[in-house]
Amino acid sequence: MASVIRAKAPLRVSFAGGGTDVSPFPETEGGVVLSSTINRYAWGSLRPRDDGRITVESVDLGLSLDLRAQDAIDLDGNLDLVKAAIRRLGQHERGGYDLVLRSSAPPGSGLGSSSTVMVALVALLQEYYGLPLGEYELAQLAFAIEREDLGIRGGLQDHYAATFGGFNFMEFGERVVVNPLRVRQSVINELELSLLLCFTSITRESAKIIEDQTARVEQKEDGTLEGLRAQKELAIAMKSALLRGELREFGTLLGQAWTEKKRMSPLIATPWIDEIYELACSHGAVGGKVTGAGGGGFILFFCDFDKKHRVTAALEAAGTSVTEFSFEPGGVTTWRA
C-alpha cells in the first residue's frame, strides 16, 4: 500500500510592512514586509486510495466532502480553497486520496492560517503528483489559487513566509524577493523572552478590511498611502534594529508600526483592541501591533522581561488569552509515514 504523505507549514507573525504586499500598492510603489514564522503550524495528511474517490476533512471548519476524482469540481462555497487546489493540480489518471487538514490557530486569527493551510495543501499535492516546484514556485502557486482562482482579497506575504520559514525581509514589486535574515541566536532568545501573543477572542474576515484598504489606495486617499509608505520605512528600520540586536528600539518601532497601520483603514482598530492595547501599555508593554489585517485576532506585544508577567496578568484579567511562543526557522516540509 502507498505510504501516507504528511505536511506541516509554519504560521507567522508580521512585524511591519503588512498591507504593502496587497495589490495595487506593490505594483506602483513596491512593498516590503518584515516577519518571522513561529512554532504554530498548519498540518496536512494525504492517504492514497484505489477507488478513485477524494475525501476532504477540515478539522478547523468542521466541514468535509466526498467526490470522485474523475468528476468536474465545482466551487460552490464548501471547502473551495481545497477544491480549487485539487482542480489546479489534480491529475485524474491517478487514484483518489483522503485529505485531512488542520491548523494551530483558527481562521481569521491574523497569523496567516488560511494561506498557510493552502501552502501545506499545495506541498502535499506536489509530493503526491511528483511536481518539480521550487520554493518560489510553490509560494506563487498557493497565492494564485487563493487570490486569483478564488478571488479572495489579500496579500502575498503569508504564502512566502510559510514556504520559506524563518526571519525574512520580503520585497514585493514586479517580482517577489525573499531575503533571509541572519539574526543572532542570542537576539532570538531575548526576543522570545520579550514577546507575547494576546488573543482578542475575536476572529474576522480579513478580506473585508483589505477590500476597504484597497479601495482607499485606488482612490489615492492621503492617510492610507501615508500609512503604507510609513510601514515600508518602519520595516526597514526594524530590520536594522533586529540585526543589530537593539531590541528595545525594535519594541518601540513595533508600536509605531501599529500607529501607522491604523491609518490604512478605519476597520483595522476597534474599541476593544484599543482597550486591550492601552491596558497592556499601562502595565509595562513597550509596544505592540495586531498581527494580521486587523479587526481582531492576535496582538503581538513587546515587554521588558521584568514586566511581562504583569502585562500577562492584566490582559488575562480582562478576558483575553495570552501565550508565549518560539520562532520556527524552517518552512513548509513534507514526509512519508
Query: Tens digit of pLDDT for each residue in 117-167?
Result: 999 999 999 999 999 999 999 999 999 999 999 998 889 999 999 999 999
Specify the 3-state DSSP secondary structure of 99.
strand
Predicted TM-score (pTM) of the model is: 0.95
Residue 93's pLDDT is 59
Q: Where are the domains of the chain?
A: 5-182, 185-323
Burial class from Cβ neighbours inside 10 Å (0-12, 13-18, 19+) for residue 272 reads middle
Mean pLDDT lowest for which of 16-20, 191-195, 243-247, 292-296? 292-296
Mean pLDDT lowest for which of 89-98, 135-144, 177-186, 212-221? 89-98
Q: Could you tell me where the DSSP H helices lie in the chain?
A: 25-29, 80-89, 113-129, 135-143, 157-164, 185-194, 206-218, 222-244, 247-261, 271-282, 305-317
Helix axes 206-218, 222-244, angle to 10 degrees: 110
Q: Please report, for residues 21, 71, 121, 147, the alpha-carbon distance to residue 34 in angstroms, rounded to integers and kept in the order given.
A: 11, 42, 25, 21
What cell numbers appear for 285 in the block?
Answer: 508593554
Q: Could you tell me where the DSSP H helices lie in 149-184?
A: 157-164
In the chain, the percentage of residues whose pLDDT exceeds 70 is 98
Specify the 3-state DSSP secondary structure of 25.
helix
For domain 5-182, the question of CATH label 3.30.230.10 is answered with: yes
Q: Which CATH number fits domain 185-323: 3.40.50.1820, 3.40.190.10, 3.30.450.20, 3.30.70.890?
A: 3.30.70.890
Mean pLDDT of the chain: 93
Give dist(CA 121, CA 143) in Å, integer: 12
Residues pairing with 9 in the sheet: 42
Q: Could you tell me where the DSSP H helices lie in 47-184?
A: 80-89, 113-129, 135-143, 157-164
Closest CA relative to residue 167, chosen from 294, 334, 331, 332: 331
- Residues with a known catalytic role: 158
Is residue 290 a contact partner of residue 298, using CB atoms and an 8 Å limit? yes
